[in-house]
Amino acid sequence: MNVVSLLPSATEMVYTVGAEPVGVSHECDHPPDARRKPSVTSTRVDTEGTSAEINEGVAEESDGDGIYSVDTGTLDELDPDVVLTQEVCDVCAVGNRTVSEAVEDIDASPRVVSLHSHTVDGVLDDIRTVGEAVGREEEAQEAVANLRERLDRLRERAEPLPDERTVVLDWLEPPMVAGHWVPELVETAGGDYPLASPGDVSTVRDWDEIIDTAPETLVAAPCGFDLAQTVENFDEIAERDGWREIPAVERGRGYAADGNAYFNRPGPRLVDTAEVLACCLHPDEFGSPPADTAAAPVRIR
């Protein structure tokens, strides 16, 4: 079966259930084998600038030909039976509409499977959906059971600890409070998340509102930014008025994180994200997040 995955999280799901794609998107980077697959997509936005510059570029391209393009020639050569895409956010990854239009221009007639979950349970269901689509249903069920077990163990361990008032930002300029599955992950890790509920979309918030929330832990995990890029751009929030008075900053609990690989990628590694959050919220119990790996945030002092 020829599977083309145009979504990083779906690519991880394909590998998790024991299958392998024949083609991927330009953003698919995990596991490392995915980087060796033919890329079928590209972006018109320069993603190497600051978050403010990228935000401006996204706005410009959204008003034009769109942020992403699909190489229909390469897609046609791959002769896909299944194409995996998404409907969660047309800014974060190539969307279902763009993919469906591209599929109409190739000789094959693949099944297009579009993932659209905004909650942890939904993401786990997506793993089952991908497993069914690629003929690995049993493997998907086993993977989901293992992930749920890890979440349950983490929740049980964090349950007796005091809730840490937490804010997670998935964009810096303008500041955007992370929604979707993030509120659940924070709560599982022993936190209180006052600015969003499970399943809410991520929203731009006024900086004063974030300050007034008085977060005891603040994590910056911009969508598409790896750990180094987040650290490089951290001044976009650290230089704002009131930054040093935020309780999280006073306590040394302001973190930069790999938003690309973890917080904003709704796949199997969301469980890793919950475990990383537990280290951020309760380092005395779970240990400090390791700063020498992209799997965890780095503390900003």
Token pair for 210:
């974030």
Give the containing element (helix H, strand E) for 50.
none
pTM: 0.92
**DSSP per-residue codes, 102-124:** HHTTSS--PEEEEE---SHHHHH
In terms of residues, how long is the chain?
301
Residue 45 near residue 93, CB atoms below 8 Å: no
Tell me, which fold does domain 3-142 have in CATH?
Answer: Rossmann fold (3.40.50)
Pairing of strands 111-115, 82-86: parallel
CATH 3.40.50.1980 domain residues, the chain:
3-142, 162-299
* Distances 182 to 59, 77, 140, 234 between C-alpha atoms, Å: 25, 38, 23, 20
The SS3 call for residue 18 is coil
Which runs of consecutive H residues, i.e. helices, occur in the chain?
8-16, 51-62, 72-78, 96-103, 120-133, 137-158, 182-188, 207-213, 227-233, 235-238, 247-250, 270-281, 283-286
Instruction: State the average pLDDT for the chain.
Output: 90
Judge whether residue 295 has pLDDT over 50: no
The candidate with the shortest Cα–Cα distance to 134, out of 272, 12, 264, is: 12
Give the pLDDT mean for 43-64.
70
pLDDT of amino acid 115: 94
* 5-36 pLDDT per residue, tens: 999 999 999 999 999 999 999 999 999 999 99
- Domain 162-299 - what CATH class? alpha beta
Measured between alpha carbons, how far is residue 133 from residues 3, 26, 95, 128 in Å? Answer: 9, 22, 18, 9
Q: Quick one: pLDDT at residue 61?
A: 57
Amino acid at 8: P
pLDDT tens digits for 54-86? Answer: 877 676 655 555 788 899 999 999 999 999 998
